[in-house]
Amino acid sequence: MKSIESAMRPIAMIFGILLLGMALAACEEEGPAEQLGSKIDQAVEEAGDKVKEAADELEQKTD
């Protein structure tokens, strides 16, 4: 007679494989929302860089 632990081992392995498969599937391609988010992030970062450059120039001119 099998113990509960030995009966649960294959179920746990199948569950782990399914979780791994779902995680890998989620990492494939970015959808439209992720692409838009990336573009927004990039635009905000570029704007921040330009503001910093302008602040640095203003600081140099006032020195």
Closest CA to 34 of 22, 26, 24: 26
Please give the residue that has the higher pLDDT: either 27 or 17: 17
- Overall average pLDDT of the 44-52 stretch: 92
Q: Is the CB of residue 21 less than 8 Å from the CB of residue 13?
A: no
Percent of the chain at pLDDT above 70?
87
- Overall average pLDDT of the 17-39 stretch: 81
Residue pointed to by tokens 């995680």: 23
Residue pointed to by tokens 């503001």: 51
pTM of the model: 0.50
- Overall average pLDDT of the 22-40 stretch: 81
